[in-house]
Amino acid sequence: MKKKSLLGMTLAELKDVATSLGMPAFTGGQMAKWIYGNHVRTIDEMTNISKANRARLAESYEVGCTAPIDAQHSKDGTIKYLFPVQTTRPDDSQPVKFVETVYIPDDDRATLCVSCEVGCKMNCLFCQTGKQGFEGYLTAADILNQIYSLPEVDKLTNVVYMGQGEPMDNLDNVLRSTEILTADYGWAWSPKRITVSSVGIKDKLKRFIEESDCHVAISLHAPNHELRAELMPAEKGMPIEDIVELLRNYDFAHQRRLSFEYIVFGGVNDTPAHARQIVKLLKGLDCRINLIRFHQIPDVPLHGTDERKMEELRDYLTAHGIFTTIRASRGQDIFAACGLLSTSKKIGAIRHKEER
């Protein structure tokens, strides 16, 4: 029988595990300390739990951490890891799946871009993960393991949920992972170190904002319904005007930051008229905009705008009260940049590499 992961469990759940096996509830607190405080890899390392209790625990549970099976190094220092994931598959009879995780060192910061799904259902026109299609939801253990088992874990300053998948589509597991990252019994990180990026999904985005204090990033990419619906099918479920109206109800002026991501496509969303629409749409909202260069993917009739237009757009938006930056692309040479992650052909390639 497949053992259950303790990694990814909240304190209350760890206490339930303990009591269900006839141990005192405080053993759950000890487990939390060993896992989230000391990063142990086996139950046997939890030495303040009696040997008999450790053995009983190990009959049905494991810590649940797994090292990455591949790492690709970019010339700019970015590293792309390939992690096996359990996903929410019910048993071991199905093949193991994989996700990519990107480590991005930058002067005094080191950001990890984590995945929350294998592939994605949202099928945005410009995204390689969308082309992969949806293959499974990551468990909270899968999400956290990308941090737990990262060789550079001690250097991390920030985590962004901007890898494969749409966080609102796997909200329970995403919320569980952010709770564990920020709780006192868990990693005790400030929520200001975590940003969750979303296309916006009705009801789910509201729940996320209310149940988490992490920064919010919205993939905007078009300032009106018609154009956004052409680029992003999710727009039909939650139009951008509704997303913005929802966001107006919350405080983004203090601890928590709201940003919008805008890939600038040549001749599609980069004209002065689009710039004016962006200003109108976001008027009065405390937010910033990150302009992103389009990372070309095959068979898509889109191309990035030129540098001059990108800078003009940045300057127009900033002059009209929306602080705007142009995001540096990282790890393009190893296909680690935004929207290029895909694990559909990965396993064959790994086997080929191992055989050589």
Of the pair 18, 113, the CB lying nearest ligand SAM is at 113
Out of 8, 28, 64, 130, name the contact with ligand SF4 by CB under 6 A: 130
Contact (Cβ atoms closer than 8 angstroms) between residue 175 and residue 212: yes
289 binds, among ligand SF4, ligand SAM, none (CB under 5 to 8 A by kind): none
Of the pair 183, 229, the CB lying nearest ligand SF4 is at 229
Round to whole Å and give the CA distance between 11 and 356. Answer: 45
Six-digit token pair at 296?
Answer: 């070309």
Six-digit token pair at 52?
Answer: 């008999």
Angle at 272 between CA 268 and CA 277, to 5 degrees: 85
Round to whole Å and give the CA distance between 27 and 31. Answer: 6
336 binds, among ligand SF4, ligand SAM, none (CB under 5 to 8 A by kind): none
104 binds ligand SAM (CB under 6 A): no
Q: Which stretch binds ligand SF4 (CB under 6 A): 97-105, 117-125, 182-190, 347-355?
A: 117-125
Out of 120, 194, 222, 247, name the contact with ligand SF4 by CB under 6 A: 120
Angle at 35 between CA 31 and CA 40, to 5 degrees: 115
Active site residue 127: no
Residue in 250, 252, 265 with CA at minimum distance from that of residue 220: 265
Q: How far is the CB of 38 from ligand SAM (least distance, A)?
A: 31
Q: How far is the CB of 118 from ligand SF4 (least distance, A)?
A: 11
Round to whole Å and give the CA distance between 250 and 270. Answer: 29
Mark 204-243 with x for binding to ligand SF4 (rule: CB under 6 A) and - for no binding. Answer: ---------------x------------------------
189 binds ligand SAM (CB under 6 A): no
Active site residue 100: yes
Of the pair 64, 130, the CB lying nearest ligand SF4 is at 130
64 binds ligand SF4 (CB under 6 A): no
Angle separating helix axes 272-282 and 307-319, nearest 10 degrees: 30
Angle at 177 between CA 171 and CA 182, to 5 degrees: 125
Cα dist. 248→206, 241, 253 in Å? 11, 11, 11
Catalytic residue among 100, 135, 166, 261: 100
Neighbours of 230 (CB within 10 A): 12
Residue type, 218: I
132 binds ligand SF4 (CB under 6 A): no
Out of 199, 214, 292, 340, name the contact with ligand SF4 by CB under 6 A: 199
166 binds ligand SAM (CB under 6 A): yes
Q: Note the helical H segments in 47-170.
A: 51-60, 128-132, 140-148
Round to whole Å and give the CA distance between 156 and 111. Answer: 6
Residue positions annotated with a catalytic role: 100, 338
Which residues contact ligand SF4 (rule: CB under 6 A)?
A: 120, 122-124, 127, 129-130, 165-166, 199, 219, 339
Which residues contact ligand SAM (rule: CB under 6 A)?
A: 126-127, 129, 162, 166, 197-199, 219, 261, 263, 292, 294-295, 297, 338-339
